[in-house]
Amino acid sequence: MPKSELSRNRSSLGHKLRYALRYPGRIPRYLRRAARDNWLGLRHRDHVAYYRAVMAADTGRSPERAVGSGSEERWLALGQMQFDYLVEHGLKPQDRMLEIGCGNLRAGWRFIGYLDPGRYYGIDISPDILLEAQHTIVQRGLQDRLPHLALVENLTLDFLPSGWFTVVHAHSLFSHSPLEVIDECLAHVGRVLAPGGFFDFTYDRTEGTEHQVLREDFYYRTETLLSLAERHGLIARFMDDWERRPHGQSKIRVTHAAAV
């Protein structure tokens, strides 16, 4: 991504005005979204409750759009990209995978088909998108792979076994999460991570001021996330090879300190 884009503050008035002049056709959609988000924000002070309401509204219109893909083609391509990356990084059918913020299984259906039965566990805060995830399992004929899907209200992961998951994956989750949600996840993920396992997550990277747009999209500096993981006794590193993919977000890999 060009340097100028990485330091851009999308929440600043200057950026909004420049963007509006460049894409006037997008203004009505932005205003509708801002009004909707303000209304939901007033009704739900807690971020998880608020985002669950955003997902309910978005999923009702289009499950593909709700997870960030404008078309089925993009939905398939984004899932393929996530799947290919992990396979290139050694994902095996015997791995035990936890996908945090699994959505409607954009990548999950590929993991479910690849992993041995019962080895995929997807969690999400949105009941609406989890029902769509079940539809994906039916559409793809994956019932015999026995995937687990669970609704969660936080990321303490307390109902999951210790040291169990060899791969934990969160794609486009922290790009929609305030720092306290990321902190909660990093505080608990080490407990469920098997020795030698890893946790990969994507995030919207800024090299300028950290900021958020419409309480939905959050931009973090890499150092913030690396040091947060380290504060929880984990090792974290920036994944350079992910940058070559045609995807706007960056990726960090977290492991137990002893694994390095």
Ligand X SMILES: C[S@@+](CC[C@H](N)C(=O)[O-])C[C@H]1O[C@@H](n2cnc3c(N)ncnc32)[C@H](O)[C@@H]1O
- List residues binding ligand X (CB under 6 A): 48, 51, 55, 67-68, 100-103, 106-107, 124-126, 129, 152, 155, 171-173, 176-177, 181
CB atoms within 10 A of CB 128: 19
H or E stretch at 71? none
Burial label for 253, CB within 10 Å (0-12, 13-18, 19+), is middle
Which of 78, 236 has the CB closer to ligand X? 78
CA distances from 111 to 13, 91, 127 (A): 41, 9, 21
CB of 148 to ligand X, least distance (A): 15
CB of 237 to ligand X, least distance (A): 21
CB of 15 to ligand X, least distance (A): 22
CB of 80 to ligand X, least distance (A): 11
Which of 100, 194 has the CB closer to ligand X? 100
Which of 67, 168 has the CB closer to ligand X? 67
CB of 3 to ligand X, least distance (A): 26
Taking the alpha carbons of 205, 17, 177, 126 in that order, is the dihedral positive or negative?
Answer: negative
CB of 124 to ligand X, least distance (A): 5
The long-range contacts involving 48-56, CB below 8 angstroms and separated by at least 24 positions, are: 48/125, 48/153, 48/154, 48/181, 50/215, 51/125, 51/126, 51/176, 51/216, 52/125, 52/126, 52/127, 54/216, 55/125, 55/126, 55/128, 55/129, 56/126, 56/127, 56/128
Which of 7, 71 has the CB closer to ligand X? 71
Which of 112, 155 has the CB closer to ligand X? 155
Which of 119, 176 has the CB closer to ligand X? 176
List all residues 6 or more positions away from 165 whose beta carbon is below 8 Å from its beta carbon: 96, 97, 98, 121, 192, 193, 194, 197
